[in-house]
């Protein structure tokens, strides 16, 4: 019964899958550069492409593409700070979580909520906070509290956006066919 809600299966690497992965990589790089809101409460749009990668590509490929995106954003495309390889762990896990809960099945709001809670909780709040504290020598509690407040408010906004986008994909015949052919 529980297997109806998750998968670790990725599609075979075909030209079509690799093309979609490349498009998702480009989209992810662009969306992580776009933020909405004031400087103290910005919402980067990269969560959208991370979810789409998971939905279309499967866990291993989505995690790898998200890792590549994070690396490219931090190095080649001028990240906002110095590159720390430890953040690649969170990027890989983020892509993988959406895939495990969304790939290869009809999505549900529950899968999106659970995936988003896992990403904002253990990955963003605990893992990334620990990495930020360690790499930049900032007090863990201060970083944790500011990220906890931010994650609480962004959870509702981002979850609503993801549900709306996945509903739009299901309504679009072209995108539905792409999903079925993967």
* Residue 179 confidence (pLDDT) above 90: no
Output the pLDDT for position 79. Answer: 62
Q: Average pLDDT in the 60-80 region?
A: 86
Q: How far, in whole angstroms, is CA 123 from its chain's centroid?
A: 11
Q: What percent of the chain has pLDDT over 90?
A: 53
Higher pLDDT, 128 or 170: 128
* Residue 82 confidence (pLDDT) above 80: no
The region of weakest confidence among 18-32, 38-52, 142-156 is 38-52
Domain count, the chain: 1
pLDDT digits 0-9 by tens, 124-149 = 999 999 999 998 899 999 999 999 99
The structure tokens 């080649």 sit at: 76
Q: What is the mean pLDDT of the chain?
A: 87
Query: Within 13 Å and on the Cβ side, how many CA atoms surround 168?
Result: 8
Return d(Cα 24, Cα 60) in angstroms, integer. Answer: 14
Domain with 112, as residue range(s), is 2-181
pLDDT digits 0-9 by tens, 90-120 = 999 999 999 988 888 778 899 999 999 999 9
Could you tell me the pLDDT band of residue 52, with boundaries at 50, 70 and 90? very high
CATH code assigned at 57? 1.10.1760.20
From the number of C-beta atoms within 10 Å of its C-beta (0-12, 13-18, 19+), residue 28 rates as buried
Q: What percent of the chain has pLDDT over 70?
A: 94
pTM: 0.86
């Amino acid at each position: 019964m529980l297997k109806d809600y998750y998968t670790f299966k990725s599609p075979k690497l075909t030209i079509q899958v690799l093309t979609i992965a490349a498009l998702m990589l480009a989209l992810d790089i662009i969306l992580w550069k776009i933020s909405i809101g004031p400087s103290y409460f910005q919402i980067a749009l990269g969560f959208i492409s991370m979810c789409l990668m998971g939905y279309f590509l499967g866990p291993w490929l989505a995690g790898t593409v998200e890792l590549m995106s994070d690396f490219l954003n931090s190095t080649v495309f001028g990240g906002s700070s110095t590159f720390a390889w430890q953040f690649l762990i969170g990027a890989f896990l983020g892509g993988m979580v959406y895939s495990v809960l969304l790939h290869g099945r009809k999505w549900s709001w529950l899968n999106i909520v659970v995936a988003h809670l896992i990403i904002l909780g253990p990955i963003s709040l605990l893992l990334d906070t620990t990495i930020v504290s360690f790499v930049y020598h900032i007090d863990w509690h201060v970083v944790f509290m500011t990220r906890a407040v931010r994650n609480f408010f962004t959870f509702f906004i981002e979850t609503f956006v993801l549900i709306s986008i996945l509903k739009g994909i299901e309504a679009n015949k072209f995108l539905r066919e792409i999903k079925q052919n993967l």
